[in-house]
Structure 1
Amino acid sequence: MKVLVICDDFYHPSDVVRKGLQLLEGQEIQFDFIEDARNWFEQKMKDYDVVIFSKSNNISSSDTTPWMTPEVEEAFDRYVKQGGGLFVIHTGTTGYNNALKFRKLIGGVFNHHPEQCEVKIQAVKENPILDESSTFTIQDEHYFMDMEDSSEDIFMISTSKNGSQPAGWTRAEGKGRVCVITPGHNLEVWLKLEFQSILRKSLKWCSRIM
């Protein structure tokens, strides 16, 4: 499986994503990275089975200029509808409130988060990504989301002292698939065994291996 990883923004440097994916490298998965959005172009995505999107609307961690133009939105929409897999993780939902086509494509965007706290992650139904009986706890930013519509298949929720929120959902769009998970600010979260399993299974689901 060839996976293009688009990451790196002011609050979420690429180092966390790179280290968080290292354990999956070589398990029949090849990762290539784009950190500066000026190096992105639509044609490049077509060479990959799945695009991991873990980047706020910043060109890079050192340049906070927004980069999601209507043309970029259209490109992601085409990629998925033509059969590509899009896996959006944590910060990939932030800064896109006004990118209407993109937020519709991914099914929801970040609204706010309280201070980091203990967050419980659990499955809400039988699904191919998170075992129905699985529950685990992390120290993380608890993302509160603005969901786009009712078509999302929510398979995972996050609960903290601040309430409960959708934390993982899937969507079918055209010939392609979209999976979104909201945890993942800290490297310790990415390296957690249960989170590694979610990453691996989400990639397989997006690429239609499962």
Structure 2
Amino acid sequence: MKRIVALLGDYYHPKEWSTAALNMALSLLNKEEKLECKIIETSQIQEELSKKPDAVILFKEDRLNPTDENVETWMTEDVAEAIAQYVNQGGGWLAWHSGLASYSIESSYTKMLKGHFEYHPVKHAQVKYTSLEGNDLFGPVSFEILDEHYFVKVDEENTNVFLKSQSVDGNSIAGWSHHYGEGRVCCLTPAHNQEGLVHEEFIKILASTIEWVSGT
């Protein structure tokens, strides 16, 4: 049995939506009862990392109160270093949508990801997600959803880009993965809206990335 820990939801991303998507993805993988998932709070992350789960899924931005004048964040450099060390020693990490957002570019965490969120247009658009030809690590992908189109900056030379995104606002990278020390890191930019999160084709790639980072 593989053990997964998940941190889900923030001010702009209802926890219920990502929980529903995660449960759908896990149901695809759990036909042989091979995964168990524990949803935790940020205050529990270092304790849970010390228990060496097979993978951690992060769908939560760093800002706790993004609309306030004095914005607080949860990921200290101590936490970021603990995450990087956990992965380096063999853990798996999936940075999913807001798990890429508002974290310090100079932190151990962002350096481990080899990429970060830069911006998204104010208006949501129809975004087409397509796998790169010849890159079938997570299977062929082609689907279109109304989404918050994430534009990201990625160190393409030192990671494996497997998913691209396209909308009226332009093109970007939507998924990349690499080994980090003894561990595995995967970054996935979709999806923001409830309908996109439970889209059948998105659930398939979410399940595939969870399977990869957890070594299932």
Shorter-chain TM-score above 0.5? yes
Instruction: Say whether residues 1:41 and 2:45 are aligned partners.
Output: yes
User: How big is the shift at 1:167?
Assistant: 0.2
User: How big is the shift at 1:59?
Assistant: 4.2
The 8 Å contact of residues 54 and 215 in structure 2, kept in 1 or not, is answered as: no
Instruction: Say whether residues 1:139 and 2:140 are aligned partners.
Output: no
Pairing of 1:4-153 with structure 2 (within 5 A): 4-25=5-26, 27=30, 28=33, 29-35=35-41, 37-38=42-43, 40-45=44-49, 46-59=51-64, 65-114=72-121, 115-125=123-133, 126-131=135-140, 134-148=141-155, 150-153=157-160
The 8 Å contact of residues 103 and 148 in structure 1, kept in 2 or not, is answered as: no
* Matched length: 205
CA distance in 2 between counterparts of 1:121 and 1:16 reads 20
CA distance in 2 between counterparts of 1:54 and 1:16 reads 11
Computed over aligned residues only, the root mean square deviation of the Cα atoms, in angstroms, reads 2.0
Change (3 A) 1:67 1:184: same
Match of 1:160 in 2: 167
The 8 Å contact of residues 88 and 181 in structure 1, kept in 2 or not, is answered as: yes
Instruction: Say whether residues 1:185 and 2:172 are aligned partners.
Output: no
Give the TM-score of the pair, scaled to structure 2: 0.87
**Which protein has the bigger helix share?**
2
CA distance in 2 between counterparts of 1:34 and 1:137 reads 31
Structure 1 unaligned residues grouped into runs of 5+: none
Task: Provide, for residues 78-102 of structure 1, a one-character-per-residue CA deviation record: whole Å limited to 9, x for no partner.
Answer: 1100000001100001011344321
The 8 Å contact of residues 117 and 160 in structure 1, kept in 2 or not, is answered as: yes
User: How big is the shift at 1:62?
Assistant: 10
Q: What SS is found at the alignment partner of 1:97?
A: coil
CA distance in 2 between counterparts of 1:139 and 1:175 reads 36
